Structure 1
Amino acid sequence: MTTSATRALLLCAAVAGPLWSAVSLAQAATREGFDLTRHPLSLLSTGSLGWLQILNFVVGGVLLLLGAAGLRRALDGGWAPRLVAAAGVGMAAAGVLVMDPADGFPAGTPAGPGALGPSGIGHLAAGSLTFFSLIAACYVLGRRFSRAGQRGRAVASRVSGTALLLGNLWAMSGGTAGSLTLAVGAITAMLWVSRVSWTLAADAVVSTSTGGRR
């Protein structure tokens, strides 16, 4: 695979985090009845405009899968690309398997957790795959950066993974504003994976300018 092809794949992962985050937060701020302190971003897949978040999940997952191929090439294999690929599969599946309406959203839905159907169960499983894969990917990247003597990047990787780990645990425990802490953690981890991919893509540009190959 040429350096330019590797760079194109890495840019897919670089775009995934900012795109998914921006689309999700824009909807969270504008959809009637949605409250990020009570409703997980996955609930945006329900209602008349739910197709926007469904598409957001699927596109984000595909971009992570493509980006994982670039990471595998740029990092000479290892667990990080595999975990990013797993996160991509989980995210795309979370788009196809829509969460059940609950807790007053979409508008008109009764208060409370609501019924959990097969699609909702599948969504929770897919989301768990995404979250735990992203957490593990951040820690694996942290170890890699630490071994390379890149302390700042190592710390940022571990902080990102920990943000998602704690956000997920807090949400699962039913803690106050758990959906908000989960959203912050997920966005932090995704943006960090995107940042790493962007940096590697920039390195690929340098390699291209000097006639190198990856």
Structure 2
Amino acid sequence: MAHENEFDTTAAVTRSMLGWGVVAGPFYLLVGLVLALTREGFDFARHPLSVLMLGDGGWMQIANLALSGVMVLVAGIGLVRAGARGTGIAVGIYGAAMVASAIFPPDPMPGFPPGQEGATAMSLSGVLHFAFGGIGFIAFGVAALLLGGWLARHGERRHAAWSRVAGIVVLVGFVGGAALGPAGMGGLWLAVVVGFAWLLLASLRLYREVPHPDLARR
């Protein structure tokens, strides 16, 4: 009876933080897709969502990227608090890189903004956007690989395998997409979708590691 009114605030905060890892990916992709479908000139086969930061209405994608990055950063802290320290730190780096990328817009690409004919010389903002993106995606892929090791140590070999595969897909998708330019856009899209799907599943898995905040229900 002594536990009936006791509440573990630390556990409640950690669970709440992990919840943002479930929300971040769907939020970013849904908002991005809506903007992509409603902005003239955007081509899924040639353009990443980041170019939506340019031109009229670009502030909406900037806000989408920044808000999603904050969600990912918070989820990373939640993963650390839940016991997956290395994974959480790497996820936090990805979230911070997303926020930094929102500060520095990319350079225009052929076809976007509307009227853009060819590629332009890389600006400082474009270089920084690409650099932060690279740091973020590498950290995201490493996070999935690290969680694979964590899951393996907990005897969850099947789950460890999918986490490692997700990490490889994110790394290969980003590196291949960045190296091939517009021809590798499919790789970048795959890295984004698989990465956020992994974060959602990882957050749900680590959620189970956190005791219920209501001591009476443990």
Structure 1 contact 146–154 (Cα < 8 Å) conserved: yes
Quote the offset at 1:210 in angstroms: 4.8
Of residues 130, 135, 145 in structure 2, which corresponds to 1:129? 135
Matching residue's letter, 1:73 = R
In the aligned structure 1, how far is the partner of 2:181 from the partner of 2:95? 27
Matching residue's letter, 1:102 = M
Structure 1 contact 3–212 (Cα < 8 Å) conserved: no
- Deviation string 1:186-211 (CA, Å, 9 cap, x unpaired) is 2211221122113333554x623554
In the aligned structure 1, how far is the partner of 2:111 from the partner of 2:121? 13
- In the alignment, what sits opposite 2:206? 200
Going from structure 1 to structure 2, the CA distance change for 1:174 and 1:193 (only over 3 Å counts) comes to same
Which aligned runs of 4 or more in structure 1 are off by greater than 4 angstroms?
209-213
Matched, 1:86 2:93: yes
After superposing the two structures, state which structure 1 stretch, 81-90 or 149-158, moved more: 149-158
**Structure 1 counterpart SS, 2:180:** coil
Quote the offset at 1:49 in angstroms: 1.6
Structure 2 contact 47–182 (Cα < 8 Å) conserved: no
Q: TM-score, structure 1 length as denominator?
A: 0.90
Quote the offset at 1:155 in angstroms: 1.6
- In the alignment, what sits opposite 2:71? 63
Q: Which residues of 2 match residues 8-47 of structure 1 at below 5 A?
A: 8-47=16-55
Alignment coverage as a number of residue pairs: 210
Quote the offset at 1:54 in angstroms: 0.5
In the aligned structure 2, how far is the partner of 1:212 from the partner of 1:69? 25
- In the alignment, what sits opposite 1:97? 104
- Deviation string 1:91-128 (CA, Å, 9 cap, x unpaired) is 001111101112120111122x2121111111011101
User: Whose Rg is larger?
Assistant: 2
> Which blocks of at least 5 consecutive residues in structure 1 are unaligned?
none
Matched, 1:174 2:172: no
Structure 1 contact 80–137 (Cα < 8 Å) conserved: yes
In the aligned structure 1, how far is the partner of 2:15 from the partner of 2:188? 31
Q: TM-score, structure 2 length as denominator?
A: 0.88
Quote the offset at 1:80 in angstroms: 0.7
Structure 1 contact 40–180 (Cα < 8 Å) conserved: no
User: Percentage identity across aligned positions?
Assistant: 35
